[in-house]
Amino acid sequence: MTLGGQTAENMIEVRGLKTQFDDVVIHENLDLDVRKGEIIGVVGGSGSGKSVLMRAIIGLKRPSAGVVKIFGEDYYRANEAERRAIEQRWGVLFQGGALFSSMTVAQNVMAPINEHLHLPKLLTEDIAALKISMSGLSADAGDKFPSELSGGMNKRAGIARALALDPEIVFLDEPTAGLDPIGASNFDELIVNLKESLGLTVFMVTHDLDTLHAACDRVAVLAEKRVIVCGPIEDVRNADHPWIREYFSGPRGRAAYASTVADKTGSG
């Protein structure tokens, strides 16, 4: 796929990012690259600014300094037509789901398709059904309204909407939070499969250590207002930083690690 005017490798380039709310600084001098076709997991403590970083990249939180480039373009400097073009190439899952409350789940998934692709109605409905099923919802969830869904179902519907246009990159804010463990591992599988068959790039904020191990090619750790380490999980795990040590060597971190090691020795 030729991607207009970008340095072949990087889907996202963040340089010297600074964001703030009034005089509370959230990020300072933050650098991050996301390469084409990789799954990057962003971790960090609660309130460390993961969601705000995602909002800065997708054009919802204007940085007070620094540059954010996506597909090689600066969203904040792009004109209306360029923005529309960019918006068709990404999909976003917000932390709270952010489904449109006056539409059914299926209509939510159809909304971006109708807006951007103008396909025949039957085809649109088929695509919506496909995405809903792929995200792990049963077919009878299609005509439910968001207020009638459980928390986990809300998340899944949000995932279905994020994937509606088969985007080149998806931004997922805690996609597995609120999913049952079976659903969570199905989700890992779905994302990895899509990455492999479509070359999908994934920017994923997550606290789920199992997902980090199972799905992520690289992990970026957000602390002290910037990305302190970014690399394959093995490298990150060995980085010398108190928060990282505590994160990976706490009981949950050890359990997740043990299970992946067991998987690898078991299968190969």
Partner 1 sequence: MRRSRPGKDQSIILIYTITLQALRRPVENVKKVIIMRESAAKIDVDVDGSVFRLNASGEWRARYLGSIDAQLRHFSDESMGYDLIIDVTDVEQMDTAGAMVIQRTFLSCEQRSGGSKIIGASDLHAALLAQVMPHLDPCAIEREHPNAFLMMLNRLGRGTVNAYYAALEILSFIGFTLSKAFYVFSQPQRLRMKSIVHHMEEAGLDAVPIVGLMSFLIGAVVAFMGAKILSQFNAEIFSVELVGLAVLREFGVLLAAILIAGRSGSAYTAQIGSMKIREEIDAMETLGIDPMEVLVLPRVIALVIVLPVLAFMAAMLGLIGGGLVTWLTMDISPALFLSRTKEMIELNNFWVGIIKAPFFAFVIAVIGCFQGMQVEGSAESLGKHTTLSVVQALFLVIVIDAFFAMFFLEIDF
Ligand X SMILES: Nc1ncnc2c1ncn2[C@@H]1O[C@H](COP(=O)(O)OP(=O)(O)OP(=O)(O)O)[C@@H](O)[C@H]1O
Q: Which residues bind ligand X (CB under 6 A)?
A: 21, 26, 44, 46-52, 95
Which of the residues 153 through 192 are near partner 1 (CB under 8 A)?
Answer: 163, 165-166
Residue 120: name its binding partner from Mg ion, ligand X, partner 1, none (Cβ under 5 to 8 Å by kind): partner 1
Which of the residues 92 through 121 are near partner 1 (CB under 8 A)?
Answer: 100-102, 104, 106-107, 110, 113, 116-120
Query: What span, in angstroms and rounded, lies between the C-alpha atoms of 111 and 16?
Result: 35
Chain residue whose CB lies nearest Mg ion: 51
Among the residues of the chain, which ranges form H helices? 50-57, 80-87, 105-116, 121-134, 151-162, 181-198, 209-215, 233-237, 242-249, 251-267
Distance in Å, CB of 45 to Mg ion, minimum: 11
| Token pair of 150 as six digits | 């459980």
Residue 44: name its binding partner from partner 1, Mg ion, ligand X, none (Cβ under 5 to 8 Å by kind): ligand X
Amino acid, res. 254: R
Around Cβ 79, how many Cβ atoms within 10 Å? Answer: 7
- Exposure on the CB side of residue 82, measured as CA atoms within 13 A: 14
Residue nearer to ligand X on the CB measure, 10 or 51 = 51
Q: Does 147 bind partner 1 (CB under 8 A)?
A: yes
Exposed / middle / buried, residue 20 (Cβ in 10 Å: 0-12, 13-18, 19+): middle
Residue nearer to partner 1 on the CB measure, 139 or 258 = 139
Chain residue whose CB lies nearest ligand X: 51
Query: What span, in angstroms and rounded, lies between the C-alpha atoms of 246 and 252?
Result: 10
Interface residue list for Mg ion (CB under 5 A): 51, 95
Interface residue list for partner 1 (CB under 8 A): 1, 59-62, 80-81, 83, 100-102, 104, 106-107, 110, 113, 116-120, 122-123, 125-134, 139-143, 145-148, 163, 165-166, 193-194, 196-198
